[in-house]
Structure 1
Amino acid sequence: MVGKRRRSRSTGRGRTIEARCGDRGAPHCVGRPVASAFVVSVRGSHPSRARGGPPTLDPLTGFADAHVHLQGYGAAERDALLRRARAAGVVLVLAVANDVASAAATMELARASRHRPDWPRIHPGVGWHPRSARVPTDDEMATLERMLVDPLAPFIGEVGLDDTSPIGIAIQRVFLERFIELSAAHDRPLNLHVRGADSIAWSADRVAAAGVRAIVHYFTGDPALARAILDAGLWISVGRPVLRRENGPLREAVRTTVPLHRLTIETDAYPLPGRATEPADVVGVTRAIADLRRCSIEMVRVATNAALQEALGASFAWTSSGGSAPP
């Protein structure tokens, strides 16, 4: 059974958005506190974030993609899809890593995005994908932890459990426990890849017990599974599957069960022949959620941006792609 979360965090003071949604969606839309600029006073273990840096951005003007894989694209293709995303109104992407090499590459892309106003701002994750061919060595785990000390990396991901991995579930659990420990030690939320009710329940219990923040990425389950995740204090992220009518249980969960202040939106874009998903598609996903909930697209965009801010924590500064790089 999924346990209750032992402690929670908040973005602090906020304003209330009064929405007019459909009757069924209204309990999840009306009267939730949303940070007025979605930028919290920088505090905690990374004081360097409070000095200088780029201008803050009101996310009323843009969309966010909570999970993309950028490192696998060729340079020209990646540049084009990032420019298309920015032209579509996407102002921020969370770029996950699969291993040490991809984490390093993604961090370099994040630095480059500080000087590319035609790209969304890239925020890199540090992690080890559960479907990798092997587990990380001790040296690789130490390298990942050193990367987490960098204020540039605001989250851990992609990490989790997958029963299709060549690595056994028992071993995967050992390493997920280690990433949960790193999350607690460095105040970095987890971007979780978990497939199957048992893996979701186990992960949610461990996250709740540790009192850390986590987003369950690319959720495709039903209302009951969504409720279990929410009861454990985690956030839920959805992508393009919510557009398809045949995914009735997922669409019902998004429509009736997951409140907007606990929902984030992603594309899970990565290079794969025959798969055309890219960060610009987050706009269409947002529109589909608005249609399901009988809310405006602006309502969904603002509320889910606030949810992402809260999931990432108080030391995360939501910033535009322009401006000077942090010191």
Structure 2
Amino acid sequence: MSHTLVDAGVNLTNHQFDEQHHDVITRASEAGVTSILIIGCDITSSQQSLELAIKHLQYSTAGVHPHDAKSATSELEAQLTALANNEQVIAIGECGLDYNRDFSPRDVQRNVFRRQLALAEKLDLPVYLHERDASDDMLSILKEFNVRGVLHCFTGNSAALKQYLDLGLYIGITGWVCDERRGSELQKLVPSIPLNRLLIETDAPFLIPRTVSPKPKSRKNEPSLLPYICKTVAQLYQMDEEVIAHRTTQNFNCIFDLESC
């Protein structure tokens, strides 16, 4: 591969990757994926993500996923601030709202989301956002704060996409786009995302691209499969893969303040 890629979202602390971190990152590098963002979903996984980022020279986030909002305590801000003091931590999150599964009560989700947005604003860090079936509340709450960030794993509709873009957010596209069945609507929307707001991510070990062939025996997604997402996205934009690789890498460095823009 003549171009390099950045995976803007990997759940490397997931149990499916236990004892495999070095091999996963090595395979990613061999596939041209030079950097990965390791996602934190609660305080424990955020700490583990940071440790992996330090060990493997990568980046991480620190935050509480809406599924885990019910576990947040009064110490949340102090815990996240301590993690964010490390240079490898480049965003607050994964945070947001999930009304699809409601693993945490919705009022608790909204409260914990607001607390993390306020902290990101205070620390001047981007936010790493999750939203499922909650775009109205998500947009309303985001407008209360002056934050920048990424809408991770976007699978919404055109109206939501337009409003997220109007807020200045970057949009993360996963292997969902490689599924000609459930990803058909997303495929139609992707070309309407400005190239300077586009990110690509695996969300590994989840959402393995349907275009991967042969499928790994484990059926597990990993960063080395990011080129399949890049290829599909490039086809949708009717551009060379190298252009998508370059722009998404540039965008990653820009939104996470890794270089001046």
SS in 2 for 1:125: strand
TM-score for both structures, normalised by structure 2: 0.87
TM-score for both structures, normalised by structure 1: 0.71
Aligned-residue RMSD, C-alpha: 2.1
1:302 equivalent to 2:246? Answer yes
2:210 paired residue number: none
Counterparts of 1:196-215 in structure 2 under 5 Å? 196=133, 199-215=134-150
Counterparts of 1:182-261 in structure 2 under 5 Å? 182-196=119-133, 199-246=134-181, 247-255=183-191, 257-261=192-196
Query: Pick from 152, 160, 163: which aligns with 2:88?
Result: 152
2:40 paired residue number: 97
Runs of at least 5 residues in structure 2 that lack an aligned partner in the other structure: 208-216
Instruction: Give me the whole-angstrom Cα distance separating, in 1, the residues matched to 2:206 and 2:156.
Output: 24
1:68 paired residue number: 10
Is the helix fraction higher in 1 or 2? 2
CA deviation profile, 1:8-40 (whole Å, cap 9, x unmatched): xxxxxxxxxxxxxxxxxxxxxxxxxxxxxxxxx
What letter matches 2:24 in structure 1?
A: L
Query: Pick from 50, 68, 72: which aligns with 1:136?
Result: 72
What letter matches 2:86 in structure 1?
A: D
1:14 paired residue number: none
SS in 1 for 2:7: strand
Instruction: Give me the whole-angstrom Cα distance separating, in 1, the residues matched to 2:146 and 2:229.
Output: 30
Runs of at least 5 residues in structure 1 that lack an aligned partner in the other structure: 1-59, 115-121, 319-327
1:77 equivalent to 2:20? Answer yes
Structure 1 position 182, deviation (Å): 0.8
Structure 1 position 93, deviation (Å): 0.7
**Conservation of the 8 A alpha-carbon contact between 1:125 and 1:155:** yes
**Conservation of the 8 A alpha-carbon contact between 2:90 and 2:125:** yes
What letter matches 2:33 in structure 1?
A: V
Q: Percent identical across equivalent pairs?
A: 28
Instruction: Give me the whole-angstrom Cα distance separating, in 1, the residues matched to 2:233 and 2:119.
Output: 33
2:98 paired residue number: 162
Counting matched residue pairs gives: 247
What letter matches 1:288 in structure 2?
A: T
SS in 2 for 1:91: strand
Instruction: Give me the whole-angstrom Cα distance separating, in 1, the residues matched to 2:64 and 2:6.
Output: 23
2:212 paired residue number: none
1:291 equivalent to 2:235? Answer yes
Instruction: Give me the whole-angstrom Cα distance separating, in 1, the residues matched to 2:142 and 2:239.
Output: 31
CA deviation profile, 1:161-191 (whole Å, cap 9, x unmatched): 1121331111111110010011111111111
**Conservation of the 8 A alpha-carbon contact between 1:222 and 1:252:** no
Instruction: Give me the whole-angstrom Cα distance separating, in 2, the residues matched to 1:275 and 1:174.
Output: 36
1:107 paired residue number: 50
Instruction: Kindly name which structure, 1 or 2, has the bigger radius of gyration based on alpha carbons.
Output: 1
Structure 1 position 309, deviation (Å): 2.1
Greater RCO between the two (CA within 8 Å, min separation 6)? 1
